[in-house]
Amino acid sequence: MNKRMNRWHSLPKVDLHVHLDGSLLPATVLDIAAAEGMELPAGDAAGLIPYMQVDDECRSLPEYLSKFDFTTRFMQTGAALERVAYETLAQAASHNCRYIEVRFAPQLHRLRGLRPEEAIHHVIEGLKRAERQFDIKGRAIAICMRHHGREENLEVIEAAAPYAGRGLVAVDLAGDEASYPPELFREVFALAHKRSLPVTIHAGEAAGAENVYEAVKNLGASRIGHGVRLRENPAILQMMLEQRIPLEMCPVSNIQTKAVADWDVYPIRDYFERGLIVTLNTDNPSVSGTDITREYRIVSEKFDFTDAELASIIRNGVNAAFLEDAEKKALKQRIDQELQELGIK
């Protein structure tokens, strides 16, 4: 590891956009399959990677999402969910990530009868166990899926509500954006509003900026997942500036899903300079073959972000966190102190 690599690694970071089922490790699949008597297409971790991780040939979000059909099969028990949540924090902590919001769709984990509230409970247990062991805090976000029906998604909101402030901090909408526009989910997120649950929405990833508008205006989103296509509509970009709504950007994933055609047109520098609240995140470490250190390294190498600019992206993440106020204040102080110790303003 050269000095620069060390530097990105040692930056105290946060990750606000990480999918639980995109964080499953191949070694864990081997263990779970052995314990549960499940058949595998390969006998070792390296052999499993093609089934779990996209390669450079990935052409679209739906192709990217097909990897989750495989990963979720191994995440159907309370023990498995707890373990993967724990390991997600362990991985993040090893990259000096001090706070992480881990999202997952409870309805994708009921193939063997696990109810949404049970899935949420077990994920939170895994987060708590990791918090006791590693220098990191973790909170959960429950996801509604675009291809699921109204009843299933309303059930997710109702299941999430009692956990608000008890390990869960928000709800989200994910899946195939191009096929299911956000206006189909107004009733679901009206319920989230009624239950006082903060909302973040995947929008402006596989479809246009108008979905960002709909997510903010009609679904009540106070953060946006990705939003890379925002620049297609200056008026909507202006709204995001005025309302100071943070963007959860996930560069490696965005290139793989072809949300952005290539690195030379990736809008993170542009958005940052316009004053949008840019945060930097991993999306799916295992599926994308990434980690939070790598996202910071790529962004600073490709777009010449200085350490001070990276620090301001980190602080954006802290400010945008759905973490409870007292904890957030402590996190802010901690990160400021660590940045100062690294000699970064």
Binding positions for substrate are: 19, 21, 175
Task: For the CB of residue 98, give the shortest distance to ligand NOS in the complex, in Å.
Answer: 22
- Of the pair 108, 313, the CB lying nearest ligand NOS is at 108
What does 28 bind: ligand NOS, Zn ion, none (CB cut-off 5 to 8 Å by kind)? none
- Closest to ligand NOS by CB, 281 vs 316, is 281
- Token pair 């195939």 is found at 176
| Residue 283 binds to ligand NOS (criterion: CB under 6 A) | yes
Q: Of 68 and 271, which CB lies nearer to Zn ion in the complex structure?
A: 68
Query: How far apart are CB 69 and ligand NOS at their closest, in Å?
Result: 8
Give a three-class secondary structure readout of 222-274: CEEEECHHHHHCHHHHHHHHHHCCCEEECHHHHHHCCCCCCHHHCCHHHHHHH
Q: In whole angstroms, how close is the CB of 211 to ligand NOS at the nearest point?
A: 12
* 104 binds ligand NOS per the rule CB under 6 A: yes
Compute the least distance from the CB of residue 18 to Zn ion, in Å: 8
From the list Zn ion, ligand NOS, none, partner contacted by residue 22 (C-beta under 5 to 8 A by kind): ligand NOS
Stretch 160-179: interaction string toward ligand NOS, x if CB under 6 A: --------------xx----
Smaller CB distance to Zn ion: residue 48 or 102? 102
Report d(CA 117, CA 86) in Å as an integer: 18
**Annotated catalytic, 205?**
yes
279 binds ligand NOS (CB under 6 A): no
Taking CB under 6 A as the rule, does residue 143 contact ligand NOS?
yes
108, 156, 188, 192: which one binds ligand NOS (CB under 6 A):
108
Residues that bind Zn ion (CB under 5 A): 283
Kindly name the residue from 101, 177, 205, 309 that is annotated as catalytic.
205
Pattern 242-261, ligand NOS, x by CB under 6 A: -----------x--------
Alpha carbon distance 250, 282 (integer Å): 5
User: Taking CB within 5 to 8 Å according to partner kind, which of ligand NOS, Zn ion, none is near residue 138?
Assistant: none
Which residues contribute to the annotated binding site for Zn(2+)? 17, 19, 202, 283
Active site residues: 205
> What residues make contact with ligand NOS under the rule CB under 6 A?
19, 21-22, 61, 65, 68, 72, 103-105, 108, 143, 174-175, 202, 205, 253, 283-284
